[in-house]
Chain A
Amino acid sequence: MKISYYPGCTLKTKAGNLETAALASLLALGIEVEEIDRWNCCGAVFSLTADDLIHQVGPVRNLIRAKEQGANKLVTLCSMCYNTLARANLIMKNDPVKRDTINRFMDDEIDYAGEVEVVHLLTFLDQEVGWERIREMVKVPLEGLRIAPYYGCTLQRPADVGIEPFGSFSLMTRLFESLGATVMPFAAADKCCGSYQILNGEDGAQSTAATILKSAAEAGAEALATSCPLCEYNLGKQQGKLLENGLIGTTVPTYYFTQLLAIALGVAPESCRFDLNDGAALDLLKNKNCLVAA
């Protein structure tokens, strides 16, 4: 099987761990990955103003790249990229007036009408690989790892692009169960981490992050899994500061879901870029005897 893949800017630098672990996992699952050519930034957030089409041009350009390469599906990893691309795709598919305007503006590109389907890796694993298959492929079960599946906003909201209904967390739950981990549901799994508000004074994003981390810890989770580099920044990279400011009492190591998948599939930890996580993340897996020797 071969898939077309859209990485997103952050996955090429600070969230390199989200990408490398995914690529290693897909390789282990026997899936060939083709990164689309000449992709640009997805725009990170969807423009909500009715008359603003210029901000849809960026995501649509990426969908055109996928169409040019003959892809009918485009797989993404980053929640924000997924959300922005999928929503722009809906406009191109369902709104003939906006579609026409955008196509006319992009006179340097071929016309596009929503031919490519935007798919998040979690959906892809569910639909195209299957949890049974993943369970069979597991080499190092994540036994005893109590993991909280954190969705944040953009995987589920709004409903027309959500990978599953609001309030349901079955994709990550089934993934981690297939990997042998213990899933710890928690109340703040779909609470916003504060997102880009981290640019707009730290207080807001810090208090939302603290709420989420406390909720996960109280539910008995040892760690938290996400698919969004901005969530990982607000919840993971900021944890030291949150602890220092007394906003949280204990740390909760954060992983990308792809890292846990890769580790369970027997991928060497070096290929999962734990150097980009907090040190506690790798230590926890070590303590659980989940790491294969390189």
Chain B
Amino acid sequence: MCDAEKKTTQKTPRVATGDRAILPEGAKTIPVYIMGKRYDVPETLTIMKAMEFAGFKFLRGAGCRGGICGACPTVYRMAGDYKLHFGLACQTVVEADMYLAQIPFFPANRASYKIDEIGAAAEAIHALYPELFRCVACNLCTKACPMDVDVLGYISALKQGNIKKAAELSFDCIQCGLCASRCMGEIPQYHIAQLARRVYGRYIQPRAEHLQTRVKEIESGKYDAMLQELSAMGREELEKCYVEREREPDLSTLGTWQPKETQYL
């Protein structure tokens, strides 16, 4: 789009169009290309809504519509530019002259394993995914990630045997698979990262001891009597208990607060 056109676009007031088929007055449409064909869609819509506006119906490739399930990865390019862009259809607002392609699924090798048997060594991950060593550090994976994950960073970390770093770097991954779609080493990055996080959680991350203590207490029946007491209460009494409950003040110094009622501790 040329600069002059851009200015006129910005002068027009933006009107929320939702997914109404008949547009309110003042709503501006822009051209986008879905699978190569031009559609004029309201400029305020996300790619997903714009496609639905254009008449497409998502049977697959749409999930939470909240940017977290990873079902709607989209590749797009702006007319006149070589650069590929990547985003989630449910999160990315359409722009004029976008060429869109949905990649709801991309075939990627997924190894099967028993998490309780593989152990905490990075070599176990290497054995399940030897293709990891076909990485050439081209960084196309990182460029493709709609979540800004440092994909090359976690792949490098795994080659270096650093599961903790890989788990931390890949934490925001939503398993959309765009990284794998761009990989010249044919590596299923997101599956490997998921395995790294699982190994990290199962073997490396420190256990929360207080949680284990509490679980044991619950299992030993320590709180059964209290629960029965609450179960026996009527609604009004229960509400009163809730409203009058003692509560640790926000931002109180750790370990300084004690409830007045101590019989349940």
Contact = CB atoms under 8 A, between A and B. Distances in A.
The answer to whether any beta carbons of A and B sit under 8 Å apart in the complex is yes
B137 A61 contact: yes
A40 B161 contact: no
B139 interface: yes
Interface string B133-165: 101111100110000001011011001111000
A43 B136 contact: yes
A39 interface: yes
Nearest to A16: B161
Interface residues of A, number: 16
B153 A41 contact: no
Nearest to B122: A13
A12 B162 contact: yes
B238 interface: no
A204 B138 CA distance: 32
Interface string B99-121: 00000000000000000000000
Interface stretch (A51-59, A74-82, A247-255): A51-59
B79 interface: no
A13 B133 CA distance: 15
Contacts of B184: 54
A57 B156 contact: no
A164 to B, nearest CB: 29
Which bracket fits the contact residues of B? 20 to 34
A244 interface: no
B138 A41 contact: no
B138 A54 contact: yes
Contacts of B143: 108
Nearest to A61: B137
Given A13-B122, A54-B184, A41 B159 contact: yes
B130 to A, nearest CB: 10
Given A13-B122, A54-B184, A61-B137, A40 B152 contact: yes
Contacts of B156: 9, 38-41
A55 B136 contact: yes
B161 A13 contact: yes
Given A38-B153, A41-B156, A58 B137 contact: yes
Contacts of B122: 13
Of A40, A54, A55, A61, most B-chain CB atoms within 10 Å: A40
Interface string A280-292: 0000000000000
A43 B162 contact: no
B247 to A, nearest CB: 45
B162 A40 contact: no
A171 to B, nearest CB: 27
Interface string A39-68: 111010000000000110110010000000
A40 B132 CA distance: 12
Nearest to B130: A199
A57 B153 CA distance: 15
A13 B160 contact: yes
13 contacts: A9-B156, A9-B161, A13-B160, A40-B156, A40-B159, A41-B159, A43-B137, A54-B136, A54-B184, A55-B136, A57-B138, A58-B138, A61-B139
Interface of A: 9, 12-13, 38-41, 43, 54-55, 57-58, 61, 105-106, 108
Which 3 A/B pairs are nearest by Cβ-Cβ distance? A58-B137, A13-B161, A40-B156
